[in-house]
Amino acid sequence: MPHSHCHGEHDDHANPSELGFQYNLFEKIDKDNMECLNESVDGAGKKVFKPWEKRLERSEYVESDVDEELLFNIPFTGNVKLKGIIIASEDTDAHPSKLRLYKNRPNMTFDNVTLEPDQVFELHKDSEGILEYAPKIVTFSSVSHLTMHFPSNFGAENTKIYYIGLKGEWSPAHRHGVTICTYEARPNVDDHKLKHLDTVSRAID
């Protein structure tokens, strides 16, 4: 599958503060309802979604448990136009080697990953958090829930991830629109009924 990544010359060294500002979608994750499957320590998966300037910290990370697979179910607090992903691990075989993305499929499990993903990235080892992967904008323009499946690594028994960065635009969810439309439709139906009754009563007179 095609993938894109940049070597540090452009984004990392040109203007790191700007890049860090862009990788702020971790603030828009519904952490209470986010889950990581096959994590060896409960709750560790949530901790890898952190500020860009903390991407090199090694004290908090997630490690897979019974095999090398990890599955993240990530609900957002609104709609996201996803534009970039960074995956930072260590320069060992425990680094994930592939990422499969699913859009708007809440509560996925390992039983569901046989489904065709919306995009696949072949990952490169990145211990510095400088390789950027670009999701297809058309596909990931309105994401309320993102599933990240890491099916394999470079040969280790377990997979480690220190940082996952998400770049994009966030907007509030438009849930109220449906309610308003439904509410406005009801009086119209009643109006028609009233007019119909008026017509009948006039005819009787």
Cβ atoms within 10 Å, residue 134 = 18
Assess whether 117 and 81 both reside in one domain. Answer: yes
Assess whether 120 and 159 both reside in one domain. Answer: yes
Assess whether 86 and 51 both reside in one domain. Answer: yes
At 173 the pLDDT is 86
Assess whether 195 and 162 both reside in one domain. Answer: no
When divided into structural domains, the chain yields a total of 2
Assess whether 40 and 138 both reside in one domain. Answer: yes
Assess whether 94 and 195 both reside in one domain. Answer: no
Assess whether 65 and 153 both reside in one domain. Answer: yes
Phi and psi for 14 in degrees, rounded to 5? -65, -50
Assess whether 169 and 179 both reside in one domain. Answer: no
Altogether, the residues listed in the chain come to a count of 205
| 62-63 and 160-161 beta bridge pairing | antiparallel
Q: How far is CA 153 from CA 4, 23, 37, 54, 109, in A?
A: 19, 24, 16, 23, 19
Instruction: Report if residue 88 sits inside a domain.
Output: yes
Assess whether 153 and 55 both reside in one domain. Answer: yes
- The DSSP secondary-structure symbol of 118 reads S
Q: Domain residues for 73?
A: 11-173
The amino acid that residue 100 corresponds to is R
At 180 the pLDDT is 43
pLDDT tens per residue across span 90-116:
999 999 999 999 999 999 999 999 999
| 143-150 and 35-37 beta bridge pairing | unpaired
Q: Which residues of the chain have pLDDT under 50?
A: 1-14, 177-185, 189, 192-201
At 15 the pLDDT is 56
At 146 the pLDDT is 98
Assess whether 127 and 143 both reside in one domain. Answer: yes
